[in-house]
Amino acid sequence: MSIAKRTTLLRTTVVAATTAIAAAISTLPAQALDAQWCKDVHIRFFVGGAEGDAFGTIVYNGAKQAAADLGPKVDYIFSGWDVEKMVQQLREAVAVKPGGIAMMGHPGDAAIMPLAEQAHKDGIKMMYQNVPVPTVTAAFGGGYVGAQQEQQGRALGAEAFKLAGLKAGDKAIMIGPFENESRGARERGTVAALKEAGIDVVQINSATEWAADPNLAIPVITAALLNNPGVKAVGYPGGQMLGNVPTYMQAAGRKPGDIFNFGFDTSPQIVEAFKGGWVQLTADQQPFMQGYLPILSLCQQVVLGLAPMNVDTGAGFVTPQNYEIVSELAKQALR
């Protein structure tokens, strides 16, 4: 083939390809260019906690901001962190057949699997937040926005050991939902890291209702401190309880700094506990992102056909040295 013919063929191919690309772009939904490009999508979003709880409020605020920015119709589902209630609410959500569902992963793979299968059959896009369900997403798709539970738990245990100045043979208390296979992986990771460092760890299984009303844990925690007078550190499973540390310590007759208190999340109450010297360490998992990004991802999946997001929101640690950086946003229930 002559050079002239090759040039003509190449030019024809380039023109054809350019025309095909232009045609493909022209078929993209016009609303994707609008401010409210997701306005025709119906989403059911699981907040996790009860209305007004410390962690759930930040998740809710993130979801509301996404809805305001993108325009979908969003039904907000509150579960009080009750995994059985979440499963029933998910069953109801799938039956409604919305465009997408953003689900808390607390019930675990086994409980969610059949409902995820039904959602897949019905063409419902799924996202999961706060607790990963890797077996479900491997089988039926969906993304995850949140911290990796065991990794974050282990990192917190190692950081607590270091910052508290603990040494092998010291005693600590760790509170958590240890009986929940999925959700309890984080606190089991903290226990594992501390035990590997030689710490004697007393485990207290947390009741579901403690997340909704942390004052219910007062008698259990005070009894544990009374029965273990040499405890150097206490770990808590979430922002509701960590924010209630001043109440626990005062009920047990302890003063700020007597015990190294650590846990997960930030909130206005935790900021005040840092300020008062009651709390010394928390692992931030950025719950605002756990509200915003699942809705963004569902909109992208439904409207644009994009793949689901997978985002690790485990941001790092908040300590007495840096808590003021996040204090104002925490007080606004945004961090």
| Confidence at residue 331, expressed as pLDDT on a 0 to 100 scale | 87
**Do 57 and 76 contact (CB within 8 A), yes or no?**
no
Range of lowest pLDDT (9-13, 82-86, 273-277, 329-333): 9-13
* Sequence ranges of the domains in the chain: 32-147+286-315, 149-284
Per CATH, is 149-284 categorized as 3.40.50.2300? yes
| Confidence at residue 315, expressed as pLDDT on a 0 to 100 scale | 79
Closest to 264 (Cα-Cα) out of 127, 164, 179, 155:
155
In the structure encoding, which two tokens stand for residue 288, read together? Answer: 């605002």
| Confidence at residue 13, expressed as pLDDT on a 0 to 100 scale | 37
Report the predicted TM-score, pTM, of the whole model to 2 decimal places: 0.85
| Confidence at residue 335, expressed as pLDDT on a 0 to 100 scale | 87
- Residue of 20 and 112 predicted with greater confidence: 112
Q: What is the pLDDT of residues 153-185, one digit of tens each?
A: 999 999 999 999 999 999 999 999 998 988 999
Assess whether pLDDT exceeds 70 at residue 31: no
Indicate the pLDDT class of residue 94, thresholds 50, 70 and 90. very high
Indicate the pLDDT class of residue 33, thresholds 50, 70 and 90. low
Same fold, 32-147+286-315 and 149-284: yes
Range of lowest pLDDT (111-115, 133-137, 206-210, 292-296): 206-210
| Confidence at residue 20, expressed as pLDDT on a 0 to 100 scale | 40
| Confidence at residue 131, expressed as pLDDT on a 0 to 100 scale | 95
Question: Which CATH topology does 32-147+286-315 take?
Answer: Rossmann fold (3.40.50)
Q: Supply the DSSP symbol for 31.
A: G
Percentage of residues of the chain with pLDDT beyond 90: 84
In the structure encoding, which two tokens stand for residue 325, read together? Answer: 């950086």
Q: What is the distance of C-alpha 260 from the center of its chain?
A: 25
Burial 33-71 (b: 16+ CB within 10 A, else e): eeeebbeebbbbbbbbbbeebbbbbbbbbbbbebbebbb
Q: What is the pLDDT of residues 260-274, one digit of tens each?
A: 999 999 999 999 999
